[in-house]
Structure 1
Amino acid sequence: MNHIDDKYLKRKELFEFNNVGRRIFVMTVFFAASLALIGRAVYWQYDPRLEPENENNARYLRTVEIPAYHGSITDRHGTLLAVSAPLYSAWIDPLGFDDKHIATIAEAADIKADELRVKIAAAEDKRFLYIKRHIKPQVAERLRALKIEGLYLDQVYKRFYPAGEITAHVVGLTDVDGRGIEGIEMNTDEHLRANAGSKQIMLDANKRTIRTIKLLKAPRNGETLALSIDQRIQYHAYRALRKAIAKHKAESGSVVVVNAQTGEIIVAVNYPSFNPNDRRYNFADRHRNRLVTDTFELGSTIKPIIMAVAIDGGYLQKDTVIDTAPGHYQISSGKQIKDIHNYGKLDITGIITKSSNVGISKIAQTVPRETLWTYLSGIGFGQTPGTVFPGEVVGELRYHTRWSPTDHAVISYGYGVSVSLLQLAMAYTTFANDGWRPNPSFIKDNPYFRKQQVFGAETARAVRKMLQSAMSKDGTGNLAKVKGFTAAGKTGTTRKLVDDKGDDNEYTAVFAGFAPVQQPNFVCVVVIDKPNGDDYYGGLVAAPVFSEVMSATLRFMNFNYDEPPVFDISNALPLVKHLHQ
């Protein structure tokens, strides 16, 4: 029995020993496999060959940029006004670059070899140098085909402006690195700007990507921005403005069209302009958007505003008649106020139609200074328009306590108050919009829309009728008529200030108006600076531009005629007679 027990115990011990051995073996294999996996992972993250002292490091492991594109800018209908096009940038590591390739690279990149040689020599202690930036795809292909070690190509994006100079002042431009430096590009840079990503890749000896090691930073594309501008009308306005400036040999000019109900800016053009796609011949003084950065004295375009203040404040009755004879009068300060003609007795509509300085100054002096200042301030004078456009100015409206009796009188026909073109346009929206003034916006659907009531609806409608009369055959704005549509508006002509005095040889011609009269949707203001020759009046220089621009606006916005169009067929009569012979 004891013998059997001994055998059993020996077998049990042997089994247990073998079982322990197996466990040790399995654990050893598992541990070795784990070490191999960990070692391989470490190997991919760290390789002695990639130490800084190894000059071949760059060909194995590299951090590369993942491009992202700048947000596009469109007009209100989706037409591209600014877009980022894919291009390439060529660069080298000067530290290990072989100079024997300079001539070959220069020829392929269309640059001078001597200039490239100097450039590389100046950066010999650096690890990065651009050979050429924003290369077209066909040039990039030529460089890539060279297969030169140490020459790299990165995809980048360059800003392109399809409308060129026509929308340049509104859209603005970016610098070489894609940062907005003018216009909407600058104002909305935070939303438009792209944030490039980066990743770590492994290359073989021929600089071919083996694999992506890891994503370091995800790219973020910029947002698309839709402007309130209508590119179709913008083009017609730019052409009409350029033609007028050439005809009258003027120094510059601007046009704006605003939706009177929403405050959206439909047209905003300046001439001269600049081409944002070719900056070799750009001049800094052409970059500013004169609509919001330049000011001028209002001239007679302020007269309807003064009339509205007097009516709305109860200082004037609609049947009031003012005696303007003998065409001039002297105020208490001794200042002589004159009209071009002796208009005799005029009702309040006649004062606007004939643009009488005598009549409007007499009306203005019935309104207390503080009241007049409050209305002018409320209409937006002396305030920023609120578009937050770079360079937006407040103009000049001195506080009423600083007004002299002369100031009180001459403000009524536009001297002593300076505004931007956009400020004047927004003031006229009160006549088109039953006394309400919306805030202006270059962005479609005016995301920050608000409005303020300046005049009562009845006052606005009364002045609207006066401004329609000013465009009759007896008014100063006759040349601003729009075929097939009723329109209303006022001319203005002011002498340019030189050393704080009016210059008899330099003028600013202005026209401000709206259409259609029964349901005014659009306000348009035209300013022509320093027209030369005898035709320098707003009614002769600026009014015809208003006619062209407003006509294009109403046609493209699909408005129906609200009065029978009258067409000039005098040139066609000889042909008709000939056909009937």
Structure 2
Amino acid sequence: MKWRDRIRPQPQRAKSSRSRRRGAGSSARKRMVLVVAVLGLISLGLVARAFDLQVVRKQFYQKQGDARFLREMPIAVSRGTIFDRNGEPLAVSTPVTSIWANPAELLANADRIPALAKALGGDPQQIEQYLEQRSDREFVYLRRQMPPEAAQAVLDLDIPGVNSQREFKRFYPSGEVTAHVIGVTNIDDHGQEGLELAYDDWLAGKPGAKRVIRDGKGHEVAELEQVRAPKPGQNLTLSIDRGIQFLAYNELKNTLEKYSAASGSMVVMDVHTGEILAMASLPTYNPNALAGSKPVQRRNRAATDVVEPGSTMKAFTLAAALSSGKYTPTSPAIETGNGHWFFYGHDIHDDDPNGTLTPTGVLTRSSNVGAAKIAMTLDTSLMYNTYRAFGFGSSTGSGFPGESSGLLRVGRDWRPLEKAIMAYGYGLNVTPLQLATGYATIADGGVMHTPTFIKDDDSPGKQIISPQVAHELVSMLETVTGPNSTGANARIANYSVAGKTGTSHQAIAGGYSKDTYNSLFAGIVPASDPQLVAVVVVNGTTRGGYFGGTVSAPVFSAVMGGAVRLLDIPPDNIGRWYVGGPLQGNGGLVGSQTPPPQPSANDAPVHEAPVDEAPSEGDAP
């Protein structure tokens, strides 16, 4: 037993060792299987993730990557150039550079902001605050429309998050001379006023687009493709003549300074086409430095402001009279007496007694009494329809933004006194453009053309009054520039001139001002073969005079004297200032009155206070 007992433990020990080896191997295999299983799961997860990224959500992540490095950038286009009728540029677009930034990226490099601010000419703190307020964006402008060389100096600093974009800026070579006609664009190059606004779709064009790759700093490293081709704006050629425009602006400016007037405007039109050759308005502004201007300076008074036309309206009253068949230029005689006619409790008066006048004499002497008495013999509907036919009370159709239609009450609502005073230009409102269109209609044989700012924009005319009546009116209006008439200062050397002066009280709250006036002149040149019409309106003179013949007629003479030479219109009156006409030798007076004197050396009118041009409180309705 003892020997066996000593022998038995030995095999048992051997078996335990093998067992331990077998258990150790099994544990290792289990661990290996576990590792392989884990690696398999990881690999399966990676494959699943790769499948998700490359197949399931490929488009999403591709868009995210493109959003960071692939950009669609606009391709700026140049706005169309605006030319005058002779090809001189009036509005051009010049390339400029705008600086923009990614706020988050730039704020991450805030230590570079002081250098950036210095290059931009700004305040570092304000720029940093501006960026912090927009930190959720990826694009903000830092400075718009910089000169390319100044913008390049900013880019040369190589500040992270700061980039550039090409744009165009509008420039106006004639500045304030053509400001009211041309108008302006905003910083995004869209028309805001004037013809820039009226023809914005034509001028603006359509920006293009391109797809580019940007690096981590936002710099463009490659252009991939053009998404949309840019379409530059189309050019526009106006009817405006820059030379005549400058003459109108300059003479108007000098007149306003001479008489300390508040404002003024002038329109010059081609009689046969309706083309507007010049349109000046004061006060004005510099469209190249718009920030310093005021709204009152940016208003085109020739098209948007209305005025009571005063005696310039008498031409249209006589147009109705001649059309009625009751009147001819020489008959019947109109008794104006001592220059006062009390009508419905109102004193309609002339400055001087004129006695008996022919219809021509009513214009020559500018008799309020004569015009009122003629009106009261006319059918109201005829008078109203004549005014309407000449365009009063409705827009001219020129297409100018904000053009006023004026005011003309419906004829059936006219009271007798209203009808009488309307005959000499009170009780209705017109724009200078409407008045010019009316006189151009008379000058073109009674044919009305829609006024236009576009060269060669021929539109068919409309016969308003008979050619005979129109020709008679031109002849009658020619007497107004005679030596003893209110419009003598409108004469042009070697050219015959027809026209009409006008002076009206300015309307104020509750009635009419006693001492502020509108001074007008509307004229035609040459009278023998009308080519051009112009209207001059000066508002609120405070010194030196206020009569239309004193203030506005000289402007007409200076501007149109230059215009006929610029346009090579041949003279028709060489060697004489004035051409006589029917009953013009005695100023349209009937009877034995002494004929008026011939022009003096300085060609000043004999009457310093023309009959219709010494308005008093009694002239106002």
Question: Shorter-chain TM-score category?
Answer: 0.7 to 0.9
- CA deviations on 1:441-498 (whole Å, 9 max, x unpaired) are 1111125x13211111111111111111110111100001112211111000000112
Determine whether 1:195 maps to 2:230.
no
- CA deviations on 1:15-62 (whole Å, 9 max, x unpaired) are xxxxxxxxxxxxxxxxxxxxxxxxxxx99xx8999664x7x974x433
User: Secondary structure in 1 aligned to 2:520?
Assistant: strand
> What corresponds to 2:617 in structure 1?
none
> What corresponds to 1:22 in structure 2?
none
> What corresponds to 1:328 in structure 2?
340
Determine whether 1:393 maps to 2:377.
no
Determine whether 1:546 maps to 2:556.
yes
> What corresponds to 1:556 in structure 2?
566
2: CA distance between counterparts of 1:341 and 1:548?
Answer: 29
- Give the counterpart letter for 1:323 in structure 2: E
Q: Which runs of 5+ in 2 are unaligned?
A: 1-53, 578-598, 603-621
Determine whether 1:484 maps to 2:474.
no
Shift of residue 499 of structure 1?
A: 2.5
Shift of residue 285 of structure 1?
A: 1.7
Determine whether 1:431 maps to 2:439.
no
Shift of residue 110 of structure 1?
A: 2.2
Of residues 450, 453, 467, the one that matches 2:460 is 450
Change (3 A) 1:48 1:446: closer
| Count of matched residue pairs | 523
- Give the counterpart letter for 1:530 in structure 2: G
Shift of residue 531 of structure 1?
A: 0.8
- Give the counterpart letter for 2:275 in structure 1: E
Of residues 94, 99, 102, the one that matches 1:85 is 94
User: Secondary structure in 2 aligned to 1:295?
Assistant: coil
TM-score normalised by L of structure 2: 0.81
- CA deviations on 1:203-259 (whole Å, 9 max, x unpaired) are 456766553222222211111111111111101110000000000000000000011
- CA deviations on 1:404-432 (whole Å, 9 max, x unpaired) are 11012111111111111111011101221
Amino-acid identity (%): 35
- Give the counterpart letter for 1:141 in structure 2: Q
Of residues 257, 279, 300, the one that matches 1:246 is 257
2: CA distance between counterparts of 1:226 and 1:431?
Answer: 27
Shift of residue 100 of structure 1?
A: 1.6
- CA deviations on 1:47-93 (whole Å, 9 max, x unpaired) are 999664x7x974x4332221111111111111111111100011111
Structure (1 or 2) with the larger CA radius of gyration: 2
> What corresponds to 1:346 in structure 2?
357
2: CA distance between counterparts of 1:356 and 1:437?
Answer: 27
Superposed CA RMSD in Å reads 2.3
2: CA distance between counterparts of 1:570 and 1:460?
Answer: 33
Kindly indicate whether the alpha-carbon contact (under 8 Å) linking 2:265 and 2:301 is maintained by their aligned counterparts in 1: yes
Considering fraction of residues, name the structure with more strand: 1
2: CA distance between counterparts of 1:301 and 1:291?
Answer: 16
Shift of residue 147 of structure 1?
A: 2.2
1: CA distance between counterparts of 2:217 and 2:427?
Answer: 74
Shift of residue 168 of structure 1?
A: 0.8
Of residues 515, 526, 530, the one that matches 2:536 is 526
Aligned counterparts, 1:150-549, within 5 A: 150-203=161-214, 209-320=220-331, 321-331=333-343, 333-446=344-457, 449-533=459-543, 535-549=545-559
> What corresponds to 1:147 in structure 2?
158
- CA deviations on 1:83-116 (whole Å, 9 max, x unpaired) are 1110001111112222121111112222222221
Kindly indicate whether the alpha-carbon contact (under 8 Å) linking 2:259 and 2:544 is maintained by their aligned counterparts in 1: no
Kindly indicate whether the alpha-carbon contact (under 8 Å) linking 1:50 and 1:61 is maintained by their aligned counterparts in 2: no
User: Secondary structure in 2 aligned to 1:418?
Assistant: coil
Kindly indicate whether the alpha-carbon contact (under 8 Å) linking 1:202 and 1:210 is maintained by their aligned counterparts in 2: yes
Aligned counterparts, 1:81-120, within 5 A: 81-97=90-106, 98-120=109-131
2: CA distance between counterparts of 1:50 and 1:471?
Answer: 82
2: CA distance between counterparts of 1:546 and 1:500?
Answer: 33
User: Secondary structure in 1 aligned to 2:233?
Assistant: coil
- Give the counterpart letter for 1:85 in structure 2: T
Kindly indicate whether the alpha-carbon contact (under 8 Å) linking 1:485 and 1:565 is maintained by their aligned counterparts in 2: no
Kindly indicate whether the alpha-carbon contact (under 8 Å) linking 2:327 and 2:359 is maintained by their aligned counterparts in 1: no
Shift of residue 351 of structure 1?
A: 1.4
Kindly indicate whether the alpha-carbon contact (under 8 Å) linking 1:68 and 1:197 is maintained by their aligned counterparts in 2: yes
1: CA distance between counterparts of 2:220 and 2:523?
Answer: 64
Shift of residue 564 of structure 1?
A: 2.2
Kindly indicate whether the alpha-carbon contact (under 8 Å) linking 1:382 and 1:419 is maintained by their aligned counterparts in 2: yes
2: CA distance between counterparts of 1:533 and 1:135?
Answer: 46
Kindly indicate whether the alpha-carbon contact (under 8 Å) linking 2:203 and 2:236 is maintained by their aligned counterparts in 1: yes
Shift of residue 151 of structure 1?
A: 1.4
- Give the counterpart letter for 1:540 in structure 2: T
User: Secondary structure in 2 aligned to 1:174?
Assistant: coil
User: Secondary structure in 2 aligned to 1:180?
Assistant: coil
Of residues 64, 85, 101, the one that matches 1:76 is 85
> What corresponds to 1:37 in structure 2?
none
2: CA distance between counterparts of 1:279 and 1:462?
Answer: 48
2: CA distance between counterparts of 1:371 and 1:47?
Answer: 77
Larger mean CA deviation between 104-113 and 218-227 belongs to: 104-113
Of residues 55, 72, 78, the one that matches 1:63 is 72
- CA deviations on 1:186-206 (whole Å, 9 max, x unpaired) are 111111113211111224567
2: CA distance between counterparts of 1:69 and 1:411?
Answer: 50
Kindly indicate whether the alpha-carbon contact (under 8 Å) linking 1:250 and 1:531 is maintained by their aligned counterparts in 2: yes
Change (3 A) 1:221 1:51: closer
- Give the counterpart letter for 2:460 in structure 1: R
